[in-house]
Structure 1
Amino acid sequence: MALKIAVVGTGYVGLTTGACLAHLGHKVVGADIDPQKI
């Protein structure tokens, strides 16, 4: 069952976590204060 997950903060940890969760089949949205990271 795919979950909808929001990752707030796309630094090293947030980006890696979001990518791993997306790889597992979940729907992931990332948010960060720095537009360069998105």
Structure 2
Amino acid sequence: MQSLFLVTIEGFVSRLVCSLSLIFLYLAEFTRLFCEDVY
């Protein structure tokens, strides 16, 4: 039971990290395009 719980936590954390990195990539791309438009 304990190991199953840990695996669930691990999967959740890895999914969270992937989502966050994707969001950061989108933000970086958006910022770059926005700055190119401004300058």
Which category describes the TM-score, using the shorter chain as reference length? Answer: 0.3 to 0.5
Q: TM-score, normalised by structure 2?
A: 0.37
Q: TM-score, normalised by structure 1?
A: 0.38
Identify which of structures 1 and 2 has the higher relative contact order when contacts are C-alpha pairs closer than 8 Å and 6+ apart.
1
Give the structure with the larger strand fraction.
1
